[in-house]
Amino acid sequence: MADRKRKNELLKKLILSNEVPLKEIMLKYRSSEEEVINVIDEINNHFKSDIILFDQHIVHMTEQSKVFAYQYYCRHDNTLFESHDHNERYHLIILEILIKPEYSSLKGLADRCLVSKNTTLNDLKAVKKLLCERELNIEYTRKNGYTLSGSEFSKRNLLAATIKDILKIPAGRLLLEDKGYVTESEIYLLRKRLEKVENRIGIKLTDEQWDELPYILQFIVKRASIITKPWSFRIEKYDIKNTVEFPVIKNMFWDYQTLNDTDLLYISLHIIASNRVESALHISSSEEISESTERFVNNIESHLAIRIVKRTELKEKIILHMSPAIYRSLMGFQITNPLADGFIEQYDQIYHIVQKSVTPFENILQQKLSKEEVVYLSMIVLSWVSRTEQSDSIFKAVVLCQSGISISKLLLVTLRSLFPEIHFIGTYSIRQFQETEKEVDFIFTTVPFESTVPTFLVPSILDKTTKSNLKSQLNMEMYGDNQRMSKNIFHSIKHFISEQNHEVVEEKIKNLLQNVDTRTTIDDNEKQNHFIFSANHISIIEEKVCWEDVVDISMAPLLYRGSITTHYATETERLFYKDFNSMLIAPEVYLPHARPLDGAKETDFQIMIFKNSVVMPDEKRLNLVVSLSPDANNAHVPTLIKLNSLFLNQEIREQIMNETNIFTVQQLLNKEGDVTR
């Protein structure tokens, strides 16, 4: 079988197969094993390389070898593909319809698939059934021919899936080249660009991605070149444009003039994690996020011993943030937050509490949330924990900011925490604010802005001096102008007053405030709102304590001081023994507590240090208890946040647990500033 024709036949068979048993070749060409091996050696010698491999009676070729052999084979006017099985024909029909600028004719499809028109009609029926699952449909008109209807996103997903399927069949790459869909140089160019992207954004493509992606991207580019109408898909609301990766990927295609931003966003998905596009979309809109948000809010309430006001509103804001955040994390995109480190430095205590509370979201992802995502979530939580059940704010304010989303969020959070008595309606650009024509009492802006409303020009990040000065200026505006004060007080209560009495009540409020100096001094506002621990607020327990007595012993000092009722102690005991894991605030440190309305009379703390570890039902150890009588208006929260941060520091936590001098513990608890550094 050593003649040239037989060699070409063997070469063709191996190119079109994954592997062929040696016996099959021997039977086909009626040759002995030795003769077949000799022919293989002759072919390899011709190519000066072992393009045909023989291993344990199995003969095969690598994909790279098939490319070399294909070029040689077709150079002699040989046709590699003389027919196609039904699966290959289905794929070719889909490709033909998706990447041709005009409608596809029946004859054109039949010629492409190397079959008759009747066979193609049957194939079209089969393809039509397959596409129903993707909510796509093949449509036909006598005038134009065949086209595909459905969303552009679904069409591109179909295109990518089809390319993947073709690449899995023997000689799939050669099929794409043979039909004129791609050239070797196009694939080489894209592969080199991918190599640069891989290095610049720090990802590592799998071998499968490295093999498939250049082909998928080339076909997406082809599809984009024939689509003239704008299109969109849900990824646009997930802030991918502000990720680290997108600018690098966009730059990869700088000379592809037909690609718009939506095309580039879609391409980005495939470069980062194309195999997770549909699953991420499913999760990001599922009930899972809503349920995880509920558990997250429960964790925050437990760690801070508070009942969050306007809970539903907070959950909606968290869901609004976490849907894209989970999507980005699933897809492998890294959101940029230039203020992440600055926020953690300034609000590290709240950051650590949020970091402890995000487990429900991390369970969805099966991975940790990034620091940047946790910071965004911390900003939302920080703006909420200072809210109480007090009456509506009598002042309204707006923040005008030209900076990025992270800077405007941080500025808004900072101002809300500085001025809880003001209702901030949100952050706007100057153009947006001018269009909305919202009425406010004060404007905080990072850029000069002229207005008849009192306006404060502030930097994007407020340092301690700026905060102090701003408080002083705003106090003068809020409480020094009795006319504004009376107007806003009246506006907040007028719906409780009959209309005929409006003028009388408004005038009465003005008269009452006329001779009253309602201004507060900056010293009053700057007073430290942390609880001051005395030696009486610290207990060192030397004797062994059994698990069942922990709450009774821990609540006793609060009962003695009259800070709580016996009902509060009983309810705390019930809640703690029912779910003590939810009251863990640091390793071996627990916070047994109930709600303020269960009988908490005033804010109070007791630090209980157990020298002999208490063995818990899950065999973990309890060494320290923070007994708490919470305040209905969350006055205990700053101290609790400080304690959370304090006990998360292993060195300080162990120092307190091992300390025998109550006054040393007292100094650590009352230390101002960041006690963890």
The CATH number linked to 585 is 3.40.930.10
Residue 269 and residue 357 share a domain = no
Residue 506 and residue 444 share a domain = yes
Closest by alpha carbon to 70, among 42, 47, 39, 38? 47
- Per-residue pLDDT band at 525 (split at 50, 70, 90): very low
Distance of CA 64 to the CA centre of its chain: 39
Residue 481 and residue 408 share a domain = yes
Residue 226 and residue 342 share a domain = no
- Reply yes or no on whether the pLDDT at 350 is more than 80: yes
- Reply yes or no on whether the pLDDT at 527 is more than 60: no
- Per-residue pLDDT band at 480 (split at 50, 70, 90): low
**In the block, which residue shows the tokens 């990001």?**
284
Residue 448 and residue 400 share a domain = yes
Last residue of a domain, one of 54, 75, 96: 75
Residue 234 and residue 207 share a domain = yes
Q: What angle do CA 186, 173, 109 make, to 5 degrees?
A: 95
Measured in degrees and rounded to the nearest 5, phi and psi for residue 624 equal -150, 140
CATH number of the domain where residue 510 is located: 3.40.50.2300
The first and second tokens of residue 371, run together, are 């620091």
* Tens digits of residue pLDDT in 552-591: 999 999 999 999 999 999 999 999 998 888 788 888 999 9
Residue 473 and residue 366 share a domain = no
- Per-residue pLDDT band at 504 (split at 50, 70, 90): low
Give the chain's domain count.
Answer: 5
Cβ contacts of 161 within 8 Å, gap of 6 or more:
none
- Reply yes or no on whether the pLDDT at 102 is more than 80: yes
> What count of other Cβ atoms lies within 10 Å of the Cβ of residue 282?
11
pLDDT at 303: 83
Averaged pLDDT, 184-209: 82
pLDDT at 675: 46
Q: For residue 153, tell me if it sits in a domain.
A: no
Provide the residue range defining the domain that includes 552: 535-670
Q: Is the pTM of this model over 0.85?
A: no
Residue 377 and residue 471 share a domain = no
Q: For residue 136, tell me if it sits in a domain.
A: no
Q: For residue 311, tell me if it sits in a domain.
A: yes
Residue 617 and residue 505 share a domain = no
pLDDT at 452: 82
* Tens digits of residue pLDDT in 429-441: 776 687 777 788 8
Residue 547 and residue 514 share a domain = no
pLDDT at 149: 93
Q: For residue 84, tell me if it sits in a domain.
A: no
Residue 501 and residue 410 share a domain = yes
Averaged pLDDT, 356-380: 86
Residue ranges in 202-286 assigned as alpha helix (H): 207-226, 245-252, 261-273, 277-283
Cβ contacts of 232 within 8 Å, gap of 6 or more:
262
Asked if 278 contacts 160 with a C-beta cutoff of 8 angstroms, the reply is no
- Per-residue pLDDT band at 112 (split at 50, 70, 90): very high
Alpha-carbon span 604 to 556, nearest angstrom: 12
Q: In what order do the strands lie in the sheet with 538-541?
A: 538-541, 604-615, 621-629, 589-590, 584-586
Closest by alpha carbon to 147, among 162, 137, 133? 137
Burial 68-105 (b: 16+ CB within 10 A, else e): ebbebbeeeeeebeeebeeebbbbbbbbbbbbbeeebe
Asked if 283 contacts 264 with a C-beta cutoff of 8 angstroms, the reply is no
Residue 644 and residue 558 share a domain = yes
CATH number of the domain where residue 301 is located: 1.10.1790.10
CATH number of the domain where residue 12 is located: 1.10.10.10
